[in-house]
Structure 1
Amino acid sequence: MVDMMVPGFYVLNCRTLDETWTSFCAAGFSIMAESLDMEELLTAFRKFAVHGDTKATGKELNGKNWAKLCKDCKIVDVKNVTSTDVDIVFSKVKQKSSRVVTYEEFRRALEELAPKRFKGQSKDEALQSMFKLVEGREPTNVGVTKVSKTAAVDRLTDTARYTGSHKERFDETGKGRGREGREEIVENTGYVGAYRNAGTYDTKTKDK
């Protein structure tokens, strides 16, 4: 009945409802996006928390890994944030008797460093920028040791790179020569080593 009696009022309310719904949806998507970002931040925290420690639970971050996180995620930029700043903030947010920080303390540490790292931004903007540096990141040396070992093994087992007496132990295909490659075998044939016509004397005699 309202739309028939007062069409203008109905249209106005439709527009109002539409704008309200749009705002509500936008707010909802914003909350969802923020939630996903926080999940990525937590995941990054856990990855650094267990780095180099098989007994770590991922719930606490020690000072060494906190410093590594700040370096790997480029929070430390020398100009605005130094390694000293990172150490000071870690000591500030952790419990006095503790050597680690929880996730909440970790976030407070980022909040402390944010204005210093992103000068010129508002407090909230700086904090979001700081979160972006960390979200989805992991320790940078994951897998490096394995690659390094593989390269070293390849280098040591590549017979083409061998020199001196080691080179003589393998043929051109890389196959070992056995005893021939390890020892200088002396043949008592009566010929000097440089003589190349060994075994041809009898043949020449018969031909005559």
Structure 2
Amino acid sequence: MSAEPPTQEVQNLKIENGDVKTEAPGTPPSKEASAVTFEENFKVFAKFGDPKSDGKQITLSNSDKWMKQAKVIDGKKITTTDTGIYFKKLKSQKVAIVDYKKFLEDLAKNKKVEVVEIKNKLAGCGPPGHHGLGSVKVTSTVDRLTDTSKFTGTHKQRFDETGKGKGIAGRKDLPDTSGYVSGYKNKDTFEKEKP
């Protein structure tokens, strides 16, 4: 008989920089959620897509990406229109973390959501990235449509026998400029014939 670990009856609390983070009862704190703070995620998302950024200020665009990934923006309770309205009240294109917290408080108050809940979601969403898409499955349809040996007409001329594309030579009819045409006279011989 194996002994099961006892279930946790109280909520896990974590206090970071004055913010209280709560986790659901009965679940151990996740490594990813406990390892990354709200401030660290702010810095990472502020830098996302802008190599010149130092991570001290975030734009509305990056804020919306962060909120969508954290599922704060759900399209029903909180939308990108809402975030745009409350972000523009700060009268700046980029805001520091202090102003960003004011933005979150204003948004939460007006949308009747707890600020702690929003910050927890933002802290636990992980690094910015491309989520939700799996690998592309190669099916018989894809194989059939990409088989260059079955191409006809002008499309057939765009590929060589091995299926490799010819590049510009396969798309344009390039003239032969090798030099030989009927009636062609070499410049040197033409000048020699002049008396």
Higher fraction of strand? 2
- Please point out which of 106, 113, 118 is paired with 1:112: 106
Specify whether residues 116 and 73 from structure 1 end up closer, same or farther in structure 2 by C-alpha distance, changes over 3 A only: farther
- Please point out which of 42, 47, 50 is paired with 2:44: 47
| Equivalent residues in 2 for 1:12-91, closer than 5 Å | 33-35=14-16, 40-91=37-88
Q: TM-score, normalised by structure 2?
A: 0.50
Letter paired with 1:40: T
Specify whether residues 115 and 161 from structure 1 end up closer, same or farther in structure 2 by C-alpha distance, changes over 3 A only: farther
Per-residue CA deviations over 1:105-132 (Å, capped at 9, x if unaligned) read: 111211122245555xxxxxx1211111
- How many residues of Structure 1 are paired with residues of Structure 2 in the alignment? 124
- Give identity over the alignment, percent: 25
Distance 2:66 2:160 in 1: 50
Per-residue CA deviations over 1:43-96 (Å, capped at 9, x if unaligned) read: 11111101111000000001221222222222222222121110111122x3x3
- RMSD of the TM alignment (CA)? 3.7
Letter paired with 1:140: G
Specify whether residues 69 and 87 from structure 1 end up closer, same or farther in structure 2 by C-alpha distance, changes over 3 A only: same
Distance 1:114 1:91 in 2: 15
Segments of 5+ residues of structure 1 without an aligned counterpart are 1-28, 120-125, 177-208
Alignment-derived partner of residue 16 in structure 1: none
CA contact (8 A) 2:46 2:53 kept: yes
Bigger RCO (CA 8 Å, 6+ sep): 2
Higher fraction of helix? 1
Alignment-derived partner of residue 118 in structure 2: 130
